Structure formats: structure tokens, C-alpha cells
Amino acid sequence: MSTSQPHPRAFRHFYKIALEYYVSARAALLCHNSLITGNLLHHAVEMLLKGQVSKTVPLEELKNRKKFGHKLPKLWMAFKGLFPTEDLTEFDTMIDELEKFEKIRYPDKMLAYGACIGLGFGRGKPVTSMTPGRTEPEYQMGVGDVDAFFARLFPLCRLNPKAYFSFLSSQGRQVLTEGNAESKDWLP
């Protein structure tokens, strides 16, 4: 298979990886692992977007740092370009907020500038007001926004969540559904 052509089966692998990251992020949040939850959510969204984009773009191009790499805004624009009649703007802010978490994937930025991390279930920023005078960069995410994102993209990507979530143990099913208003039809 030529590396200059989209791989016909890559999307299935991206989707599987996306859903594993997604469930792992929800588990991390339940365990109060605030330093990795945002990055796991970033990877979940990245892999879901790459799954769809991989149907039209070669894998080498998806890995290229200048073209896409781990950059959610670039992937999001490419994804939205595949669905020009769909209004997906409600997720633009979520993409921008998740992109911030990529900056603290390694500790150097947190060591240099600090970080105020706020994560929670539900939609929107979980911390509405920071302590006055604090100068640390904010990294906030409501997992409910990511839940809604996955629920919206499943049909667009023609992704059957029941098939992809069939791997989950009973604990995994609980992690997926806890605090998740979107998940009612996702399990077999």
C-alpha cells in the first residue's frame, strides 16, 4: 500500500484508540488524576478526528507536525471541511480549551508558569471564578462537553458505539456512564 494514499482500514484503529482514551480519561477524572485527565481527553478527541480525516488523508500527512500532528484546531478544521452542511460551531470552544492541555503534557510549562487545573463532569468550565491575583494559566474542561462531542460525531463518522464499546468490562461500563447524560444508547 502506498503511503501517499489514505489507508482503507486506519479509521477503525483510530476510532478504537479514541474510545479507549475517552474511557481512560473519564476513569482518571473519577480517580481525581487532574494532571493527566485533560491530556487523555485531548488524545481521545484527536484520535476520533483523525479517524474520520484518515479516510481522505494519508497517515504520513496526519503525523506531519506542520500539517496536523497533535494540533486539534487543524484537525477540527479538516473534519468540519468534510461536513460543510453541518453546524458544529458549538464545539469550537471545547477544541480550543482541550488544545491548552497539550501544552502541559510535559511538566516544563507547569514548572515555569504554574497551572490552575479545573476538571469536572457536566458542561462548561467547572471553576467559574479564580482567586483574584492568581497569574497561573488556566486549564479547564467539563467532560460533559466531550461527551456531547462524541455523541454528535458518532453518527457523522458512522461509528456504532455499541460495537466499539463492547470491549468494556463492567467497571468500564460504569466509568463510561457515570455522570454521562449522552451515553444511554452506547452500550450493547
Which pLDDT tens digits describe the chain residue by residue (188 residues)? 556 787 888 999 999 999 999 999 999 999 999 899 999 999 999 999 999 999 999 888 888 877 887 899 999 999 999 999 999 999 999 999 999 999 899 999 999 999 989 999 999 888 766 677 778 898 999 999 999 999 999 999 999 999 999 989 999 999 999 999 999 999 99
Nearest Cα to 139, choosing from 152, 154, 120, 158?
A: 120
Whether 106 maps to a domain, the answer reads yes
Among 142, 137, 134, smallest CA distance to 98 is for: 142
- Phi, psi dihedral angles at 141 (to 5 degrees): -155, 130
Residue-level pLDDT at 134:
78
Q: Supply the DSSP symbol for 104.
A: T
Which secondary-structure segment (H or E) carries 6? none
65 closest CA partner among 57, 74, 52: 74
Distance CA(136)–CA(179), nearest Å, equals 29
| Cell 500527512, residue located | 61
Q: Is residue 3 part of a domain?
A: no
How far apart are alpha carbons 92 and 89 in whole angstroms? Answer: 5
Per-residue confidence (pLDDT) for residue 74, from 0 to 100: 95
Asked whether the beta carbons of 72 and 99 are under 8 A apart, the reply is: yes
Alpha-carbon torsion, ordered 152, 122, 137, 116, to 10 deg = -150
Structural domain includes residue 1: no
Interatomic CA distance for residues 63 and 141, integer angstroms: 26
* Domain contains 17: yes
In a domain, 178, yes or no: yes
Residue 109 inside a domain? The answer is yes
Give how many domains the chain has, as a whole number: 1
- pLDDT for 147 equals 98
In a domain, 127, yes or no: yes
User: What is the domain range of residue 60?
Assistant: 10-185
Q: What is the DSSP letter of 185?
A: G
Dist CA 125 CA 113 (whole Å): 21
Position 110 in a domain = yes
